[in-house]
Amino acid sequence: MWRRGADPDGYVANFVESEQIVHLNGFTTSFVQVRGSMPFLWEQIVNLTYKPKFEIVKSEDAPQVAERHFLDLRKKYGFVLAVDLVNKHGGEGRLSEKFASAMQHIISDDVRYLHFDFHKICGHIHFERLSILYDQIADFLEKSGYLLLNEKDEKIKEQIGVVRTNCIDCLDRTNVTQSMIGRRMLEIQLRRIGVFGAEETISSHPNFDESFKILWANHGDDISIQYSGTPALKGDFVRCGQRTAQGILKDGWNALARYYFNNFSDGIKQDAIDLLHGHYIVSVSRDMTPPSQTGGLENIASFPLALSLVLAGFFFSMMSLWQVRYDLRHLFFSIIWASITVAIAAFVRANGRIFCNRPRLHKPRH
């Protein structure tokens, strides 16, 4: 969660280009999709809560940042359709509203914006309802096309536009959606080169269907692991074509793992990335102390220590309470220990940010 949204130049977090390529009967076909965080300045700083609040930074700069982002996409891909999958309510709703507002200054014949409330329409199990989204974007997909080369590597058809998909992390909802679009486009390509009949689909061939699902499920897992530390959620639908009890349980485990990584290990990982990318330059001619280690409570705050104190306080308060039946004075000690425990827990909750594993070398340019 240490990289969200865009930087002032319009470059977004977790931007991924996925190209689906087929070589068959001498033909080569290709279809490209992209994903990336919502292109304006926003953040979601970890603070020990399961889902930290979304904060929009420099709201007035959103149109300019989004414009820079889509200008770059137009230069690279041609026409652009931005498909926004986030919720319309709550914190996600505020981000979606800001995204839609920023897009009003950019929408043209070359750039389109479409909001599709994934959770409201598809819920957690009815992902087949993504066909509603496909119906809404089918005209753009037909217009933007795909690459097709014949046996002599001569270009018969060219892709002149791209669908840009986003949710919050651009992982789970995005991957389910992109796999659906990839499936539909692959069927169109296979009909064009004469492999499929007019009404034939990938689902008509069980072995091919299984291979396609595994390909996209593995693809989603790889992207998710490098960004969040765990395989993608909702991967059972991509892999199996339906939601399963085992998949839901696995999602629960991965969600807990993401919570742990976000709060207690991702800061160090972000430092490593910033160091390797040159965002933080080590200089022997200056103080080697990282900028965020210059003193203060946050440099001595330790969640393991705080958790140990809370557990110890709870243990001693229960032990004292147990002894009350022998001596009423233990009730006083039980209240004291319970008060200390509650006070420590309240302090940690109120100052959750300083107890998380934070990047110490470089801060986002907001």
Per-residue model confidence as pLDDT tens digits over 159-171: 999 999 999 999 9
Whole-model pTM?
A: 0.85
**Which is more confidently placed, 32 or 271?**
32
- State yes or no: pLDDT of 299 exceeds 70: no
Task: Give the Cα separation of 259 and 289 in Å (integer).
Answer: 29
Rounded to 10°, the helix 206-228/172-192 angle is: 140
Phi, psi dihedral angles at 156 (to 5 degrees): -95, -35
Q: DSSP 3-state assignment of 294?
A: coil
- State yes or no: pLDDT of 266 exceeds 50: yes
- State yes or no: pLDDT of 362 exceeds 70: no
Q: What is the pLDDT of residue 131?
A: 94
Rounded to 10°, the helix 329-350/303-323 angle is: 160
Q: What is the pLDDT of residue 289?
A: 58
- State yes or no: pLDDT of 297 exceeds 70: no
Question: Tokens standing for 232?
Answer: 């993608």
Q: What is the pLDDT of residue 127?
A: 87
**Which is more confidently placed, 181 or 270?**
181
Answer for the pair 232, 222: CB distance below 8 angstroms, yes or no: no
In the chain, where the domains are located: 16-254, 302-350
Per-residue pLDDT tens digits for 307-322: 888 888 888 888 888 8
Rounded mean pLDDT of the chain? 90
Task: Give the Cα separation of 125 and 176 in Å (integer).
Answer: 12
Place of tokens 């003193």: 295
Q: How far is CA 28 from CA 37, 153, 166, 216, in A?
A: 31, 8, 28, 19
Question: Tokens standing for 163?
Answer: 């669908």
Find the mean pLDDT for residues 59-88.
96
- State yes or no: pLDDT of 327 exceeds 90: no
Question: Tokens standing for 170?
Answer: 């651009």
Residues 6+ away with beta carbon under 8 Å from 215: none
Kindly tell me the sign of the dihedral angle through the C-alpha atoms of 214, 220, 226, 232. Answer: negative
Place of tokens 């999958």: 85
Q: How far is CA 118 from CA 66, 121, 126, 362, in A?
A: 22, 5, 10, 34
Q: What is the pLDDT of residue 117?
A: 95
In the chain, which residue ranges form alpha helices assigned H by DSSP? 62-77, 90-103, 118-122, 130-144, 172-192, 206-228, 235-240, 245-264, 266-277, 303-323, 329-350
Question: 286 pLDDT band (50/70/90 cuts)?
Answer: low
Question: 366 pLDDT band (50/70/90 cuts)?
Answer: very low
**Which is more confidently placed, 98 or 247?**
98
Q: What is the pLDDT of residue 197?
A: 92
Pairing of strands 111-115, 55-56: unpaired
Per-residue pLDDT tens digits for 135-192: 999 999 999 999 999 999 999 999 999 999 999 999 999 999 999 999 999 999 999 9
Q: What is the pLDDT of residue 278?
A: 84
Question: 133 pLDDT band (50/70/90 cuts)?
Answer: very high
The set of long-range contacts for 290-295, using a CB threshold of 8 Å and a minimum separation of 24, is 290/360, 290/361, 291/360, 291/361, 291/363, 292/358, 292/359, 292/360, 292/363, 293/360
Find the mean pLDDT for residues 68-79.
97
Task: Give the Cα separation of 131 and 140 in Å (integer).
Answer: 15
Residues 6+ away with beta carbon under 8 Å from 258: 228, 229, 230
